[in-house]
Amino acid sequence: MSMSWISSSPFKWSLGIHFSRLVRLPSMDGRVALVPWADMLNHSCDVDTFLDYDNLSKEIVFTTDRPYQPGEQVFISYGKKSNGELLLSYGFVPREGANPCDSVELLVSLKKSDKSYKKKLELLKKYGLSG
């Protein structure tokens, strides 16, 4: 299918808007929405605030984990994501040590020709590290 009717700049802009501003709604099976006022909220690893769809009021509701003072910046959690996930999805990384959810994925491969193949495989399975 030809995509020549889409010029690349508006397309990239739309993708950027979509990926940096969409909100996942837990009570709607993780469906996503663009919520105009919510796109101003920055992420903090220290808060447990979230947005969700309220079926009773038919509104998007913002729930905070504590009271806020007038003028104080209100943060939201974009989810328990590693620094790599935050960088790829939102283009920023929390300062060093600020993200308790940071993790690194390690891919371990095992060759069948390895003389300890069986033993290593057993151990990987035992500790839930085998795919």
Ligand X SMILES: C[S@@+](CC[C@H](N)C(=O)[O-])C[C@H]1O[C@@H](n2cnc3c(N)ncnc32)[C@H](O)[C@@H]1O
- Give residues in contact with ligand X (CB under 6 A): 20-21, 39-43, 90-92
Return the number of other C-beta atoms located less than 10 Å from residue 32's C-beta. 12
Under 8 Å CB-to-CB from 61, ≥6 apart: which residues?
51, 52, 53, 54
CB of 102 to ligand X, least distance (A): 14
Taking the complex as a whole, how short is the minimal distance between the CB of residue 27 and ligand X, in angstroms? 20
In the complex with ligand X, which residue's Cβ is closer, 14 or 130?
Answer: 14
- The two tokens of residue 1 are 């299918």
Least gap, CB of 36 to ligand X (angstroms):
11
CB-wise, 16 or 26, nearer to ligand X?
16
Q: Are 35 and 61 in contact (CB under 8 A)?
A: no
User: Which residue, 43 or 120, is less far from ligand X as judged by CB?
Assistant: 43
Of all residues in the shown chain, the one whose CB is closest to ligand X is: 42
SS3 content of the chain, % helix, strand, coil (to 5): 30, 15, 55
First-to-last CA distance in the chain? Answer: 37
- Name the residue nearer to ligand X (CB basis): 31 or 125: 31
Residue 52 CB, shortest distance to ligand X, in Å, is: 16
Distance CA 11, CA 60 (A): 27
